[in-house]
Amino acid sequence: MSVPDLFDLRKRFDNEKILLCFNGPISRSLIEEIGNALRNYMKSEQASPADALDVFAVYIELTQNIRHYALASKLLGADTATVVVSYRDGHYHVSAGNIVRQEDGQRLMDQVVMLAALDKVGLKKIYKEQLRKPRDVGATSGAGLGLIDIARKASAPVVPTLQLLDNGTSYFSLSVQI
């Protein structure tokens, strides 16, 4: 029987300064519990309240985006999220990824690249415009503000990745430096 090499995994977490990692089907309650752990951790590390709130906010928007996508797309396995929070070079980093349809992945890539080209003033303008748009009738969530809000909280352009998989799907991820 092969057993997972946990020590090796732990060494990798340590080397990459990973504070928190999750991989699996994400639920509403898991998002809350992991978020709670993240907040407690940041409090114990005496992160500034502003840093703690920004990290938490980006974590929530990323994971809730995945939940909303999984529910709306009905794509099998889309609710399996990979979430990593790390602290290196003086910054917190929040990353999350999941499987998406190829065309959705491309659309997200384009949107993130478009946002990355904007400065703080441009981001605020587009945020306010989106805030003013009437939301889709029947939508219970997804104000379309999440990606813009993430870009506004980032201290460097958000880094997207898109890896082609089989069956018309891709693995999409976002890495955000706070």
Partner 1 sequence: MKDLNIVSTQATPLIETDSNRGVVYMEGDSYPENSFEFYSELVAWVTTYLKSNDRPMTVELALLYLNTSSIKVLMDIFDELEEHHQKGRDVTVNWRYDVDNERVAELAEEFKEDCSFAFNIIGQE
Query: Count of CB atoms within 10 A of residue 22's CB?
Result: 16
- Quick check: helix, strand or coil at residue 24? strand
Question: Closer to partner 1 at the Cβ: 70 or 84?
Answer: 70
Q: Residue 26, exposed/middle/buried by CB under 10 A (0-12, 13-18, 19+)?
A: buried
Smallest gap from residue 133 Cβ to partner 1 (A) = 9
- Quick check: helix, strand or coil at residue 71? helix
Give me the amino acid identity at 87: Y
Smallest gap from residue 141 Cβ to partner 1 (A) = 5
Helices 146-153 + 102-116 axis angle, to 10: 40
Query: Count of CB atoms within 10 A of residue 132's CB?
Result: 7
Distance CA 46, CA 102 (A): 41
The one among 142, 157, 159, 171 contacting partner 1 by CB under 8 A: 142
Smallest gap from residue 158 Cβ to partner 1 (A) = 15
Smallest gap from residue 1 Cβ to partner 1 (A) = 39
For partner 1, what does the binding mask look like between residues 22 and 41, x meaning CB under 8 A? ------x--xx---x-----
- Considering only residues 76-135, where is the footprint of partner 1 by CB under 8 A? 128, 131, 135
Q: Does 72 bind partner 1 (CB under 8 A)?
A: no
State the residues that interact with partner 1 by CB under 8 A.
Answer: 28, 31-32, 36, 49-50, 53-54, 56-57, 60-61, 64, 67-68, 128, 131, 135, 139-143, 145-146, 149
